[in-house]
Amino acid sequence: MPLLSVNIDHVATVRQARYRAGPGYGEPDPVRAAHEAELGGADGITVHLREDRRHIIDRDVERLREAVRVRFNFEMAATDQMIEIARRIKPHSAMLVPEGRQEVTTEGGLDVYGQVQRLTSVVKQLRDAGCVVSAFIDADIVQVEAAEKVGFSICEIHTGPYAAKFEAAGGDLTRDAVFEELERIVTAGNAVLHAGMRLNAGHALNHTNVKAIAALPGVSELHIGHAIVSRAIYVGMRQAVAEMKHAIASAHEAVEMGHEHEED
């Protein structure tokens, strides 16, 4: 069954809406959110320290690295400043993502193919610091091949296009547009696994659309944030994480039962 890494960036977004000019104090506290996520069954905690510090700030990263008891995943742009921070705090995994000042959240995968030389150096620096290094990429064979060449250990496939088509189709997985996006993810995922890299997936996943992704073969881990934080407003972080874990588990169990029926 895929593991679940909970992105808590938007807990900090709520805090910064009130305490933007402050030093990172105030409510809600991302560290307390991480603790509640762990109690809900999170297998990892993810944060993205952006260049503009729009939500997670440096102090959060320092405190979370000390407090988190599950795997700590650090999303980062491939800048010298972020490399220095990652080498110092030594997260369990460092995931390289594209970053734009005008975007609301990360849109589109990292162009590994277009910057092989630069990223090869970045990955080496991070690996030398003891980090497992991941690339957030689109479901594109060219990007998978480039990620293997650069030396990434993990590829996280961008599920945003699938999520958008899923919503437009009202959740109907039999619609051609949804099926085609799933096929693209499967094809890219198979290439990731064939290259000997770990396969993760994430972006715009929620309690409804996650099931089809969780059921895909070879997926090691799902990274989900906004949907869990949104649900937590109503039921609390611990319960919101537990509900997402249940959705993932139910998808996995359905696949296992299908395999048993095929054998019979």
Residues 6+ apart with CB under 8 A from 32: none
Q: Is 203 a catalytic residue?
A: yes
| CA gap 74, 56 in Å, rounded | 11
Q: Is 75 a catalytic residue?
A: yes
| CA gap 126, 72 in Å, rounded | 15
| CA gap 240, 36 in Å, rounded | 10
Catalytic pick from 10, 35, 48, 158?
48
Catalytic pick from 38, 75, 99, 181?
75
**Calculated CA dihedral for residues 134, 130, 214, 112, nearest 10 degrees:** 10
45 with 70: CB under 8 angstroms?
Answer: yes
Catalytic pick from 10, 55, 203, 223?
203
Residue with tokens 């959060």: 60
Classify residue 197 as left (phi > 0), alpha (psi -120 to 50) or beta.
Answer: beta
Number of H helices, E strands in the chain: 11, 8
Active site residues: 48, 75, 203
